[in-house]
């Protein structure tokens, strides 16, 4: 399943994969002896045991590790590898490369100790000296440094000899140097709607410039195109109405596309349509553009700008999708109204908003962050996460199984966002009435099945009062966010 080019997002398999890996004899032995082995024996025996577990290495190079126990093992190995490298002891370069790719994929979220920082500085100086002395750079040194720092930040990256390298090392150099350079080039070609002027929009933009959200290697997308009529029928949105019969989807707007997974999936779902995708972050857009080219997709037009300026876009859209964006705006309703102004008659709009009920634990953590005055910097996030892991495992287990907990940009988005609003379904019902919008249903089959068991009435799925009642009994039902479809009345 991981090998399929676009079957699914690899992280969707993460819980199953780590559950399976924990049944592996070698893994059981590592976990049982984790706290008993000294540094030397731990590194040698652990790498020897796990280096040939193909599933683990394959996954490490595609998506972030989402298991606290495995993270602890890799964290310890990483510290030991750099110590050994500084002493010029040989290590398994193949495994170190896979781990370096994993650290890049998770955006270096692993905690960095004072010893680690000291060793990083020593290794940086050693590579710098080799560069100044015009010596060939040691690939072992570079791959080891890549466990802690992105290679693209160093001036000596141009001196790396990429010839005759192992395919895994070539992959590391590709994602850390070539693709980063390509994104810088792309950023100069992306057109701007208008200069971003709203103060909160600027703060949000700065966050995603520092940490484009999320970094990904592979994604999944629909195999078949879909019509407007089928879209409504498939989601059980409402009874089939004649105005949707044979109506084609020609123009789609993705308002807040991030790093491109949403826009790429939409381009396959609405295959014969023109997709316009906008975002505040130029770095996120550049990432999205590069991945779009990689998938050989040509029906997406990326634009840099704010939802508040969408009225500058030409024409109206048959579909508008904005998932997880409005709740980060200064005034979500103002942004929503701007999007409504671009929705064609009988068009459909999919909105994603955070649930106040489902995010209760997260909001409690955010309050403690504010109380403890912990900065939303990369080091602040790493240290806070490391300090709280054991406590959360006991008191907030739902947080440490959240996939957002395991990459820097997503952890920042989860706990340290510069602006966030939450809603409940009764509030959303009022907003829809004020905006003269008709609720068509939620974009989730799993939730729909569970709901219908409890509320079997024919039209119950269109009642936000009943959905609110359902959520009060199932408080994690919308742990991701509410994602629902609406249309103008």
Segment 188-225, tens digit of pLDDT: 999 999 999 999 999 999 999 999 988 899 998 877 77
Question: Can you read off the two tokens belonging to residue 37?
Answer: 């082995």
Calculate Rg over the CA atoms of the chain: 24
As a whole number, mean pLDDT of residues 143-172 equals 92
Give the H or E element holding residue 291.
Answer: helix 282-294
Upstream peptide bond of 352 is cis (omega within 30 degrees of 0): no
Contacts with 311 (C-beta within 8 Å, 6 or more apart), sequence order: 338, 341, 342
Say if pTM beats, i.e. exceeds, 0.85.
yes
Kindly indicate the confidence band of residue 321, based on its pLDDT and cuts at 50, 70 and 90: very high
Alpha-carbon distances, residue 136 vs 91, 132, 168, 213 (angstroms) = 19, 10, 20, 36
As a whole number, mean pLDDT of residues 344-357 equals 94
Give DSSP secondary structure letters for 85-129.
HHTT----HHHHHHHHHHHHHTTS-S---HHHHHHHHHHHHHHHH
Q: How far is CA 286 from the centre of its chain?
A: 15
> 3-class DSSP state for residue 172?
helix
Domains of the chain: 10-184 (no CATH), 199-357+421-488 (3.40.50.150), 360-415 (no CATH)
As a whole number, mean pLDDT of residues 464-484 equals 94
CA-CA distance, 15 to 403, in Å (whole number)? Answer: 9
CA-CA distance, 484 to 353, in Å (whole number)? Answer: 9
Among candidate residues 249, 202, 228, the one with its CA nearest the CA of residue 485: 228
Average the pLDDT over each of 34-43, 106-115, 184-193, 229-238 and give the range with the smallest value: 229-238
Query: Which range, 153-162, 302-311, 480-489, has the best average confidence (pLDDT)?
Result: 302-311
What region, left, alpha or beta, does residue 192 occupy, with left being phi > 0 and alpha being psi -120 to 50 degrees? beta
Q: Quote the DSSP letter at residue 135.
A: P
Among candidate residues 80, 66, 151, the one with its CA nearest the CA of residue 113: 80
CA-CA distance, 8 to 26, in Å (whole number)? Answer: 28
Q: What is the per-residue burial (b if ≥16 Cβ within 10 Å, else e) of 55-81?
A: ebbebbbbbbbbbbebbbbbbbbbbbb
Map tokens 């037009």 to a residue: 301
Question: Can you read off the two tokens belonging to residue 212?
Answer: 């484009």
Among candidate residues 175, 14, 21, the one with its CA nearest the CA of residue 107: 175
pLDDT over 90 (residue 149): yes
Among candidate residues 462, 453, 433, the one with its CA nearest the CA of residue 239: 462
What region, left, alpha or beta, does residue 258 occupy, with left being phi > 0 and alpha being psi -120 to 50 degrees? left
């Amino acid at each position: 399943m991981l090998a399929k080019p676009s079957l699914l997002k690899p992280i969707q398999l993460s819980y199953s994969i780590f559950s399976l890996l924990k049944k592996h004899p070698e893994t059981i032995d590592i976990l049982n002896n984790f706290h008993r082995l000294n540094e030397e024996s731990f590194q040698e025996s652990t790498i020897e045991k796990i280096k040939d577990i193909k599933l683990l290495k394959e996954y490490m190079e595609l998506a972030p590790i989402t298991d606290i126990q495995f993270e602890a093992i890799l964290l310890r190995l990483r510290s030991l590898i750099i110590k050994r490298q500084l002493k010029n002891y040989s290590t398994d370069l193949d495994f170190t490369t896979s781990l370096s790719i994993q650290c890049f994929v998770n955006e270096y979220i692993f905690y960095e100790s004072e010893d680690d920082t000291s060793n990083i500085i020593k290794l940086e100086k050693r590579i710098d000296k080799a560069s100044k002395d015009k010596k060939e750079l040691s690939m072992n040194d570079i791959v080891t440094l890549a466990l802690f720092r992105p290679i693209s930040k160093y001036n000596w990256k141009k001196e790396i000899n990429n010839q005759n390298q192992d395919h895994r090392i070539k992959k590391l150099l590709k994602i850390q140097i070539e693709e980063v350079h390509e994104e810088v080039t792309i950023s100069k070609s992306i057109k701007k709607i208008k200069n971003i002027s709203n103060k909160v929009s600027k703060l949000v933009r700065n966050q995603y410039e520092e940490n484009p959200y999320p970094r990904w290697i592979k994604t999944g997308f629909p195999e078949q195109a879909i019509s407007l009529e089928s879209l409504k029928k498939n989601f059980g949105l409402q009874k089939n109405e004649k105005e949707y019969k044979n109506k084609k989807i020609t123009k789609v707007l993705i308002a807040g596309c991030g790093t491109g997974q949403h826009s790429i999936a939409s381009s396959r779902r609405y295959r014969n349509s023109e997709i316009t995708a906008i975002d505040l972050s130029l770095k996120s857009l550049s990432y999205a553009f590069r991945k779009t080219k990689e998938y050989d997709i040509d029906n997406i037009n990326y634009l840099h700008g704010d939802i508040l300026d969408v009225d500058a876009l030409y024409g109206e859209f048959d579909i508008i999708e904005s998932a997880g964006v409005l709740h980060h705006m200064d005034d979500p309703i103002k942004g929503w109204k701007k999007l409504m102004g671009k929705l064609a008659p009988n068009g459909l709009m999919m909105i994603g908003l955070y649930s106040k009920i489902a995010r209760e634990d997260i909001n409690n953590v955010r309050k403690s962050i504010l109380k403890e005055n912990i900065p939303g910097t990369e080091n602040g996030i790493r240290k806070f996460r490391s300090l709280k892991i054991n406590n959360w495992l006991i008191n907030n287990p739902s947080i440490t199984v959240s996939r957002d907990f395991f990459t820097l940009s997503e952890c920042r988005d989860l706990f340290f966002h510069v602006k966030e609003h939450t809603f409940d379904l009764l509030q959303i019902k009022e907003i829809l009435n004020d905006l003269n919008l008709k609720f068509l249903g939620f974009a989730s089959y799993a939730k729909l099945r569970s709901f219908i068991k409890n509320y079997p009435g024919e039209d119950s799925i269109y009642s936000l009062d009943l959905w609110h009642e359902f959520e009060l009994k199932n408080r994690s039902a919308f742990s991701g966010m509410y994602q629902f479809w609406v249309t103008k009345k």
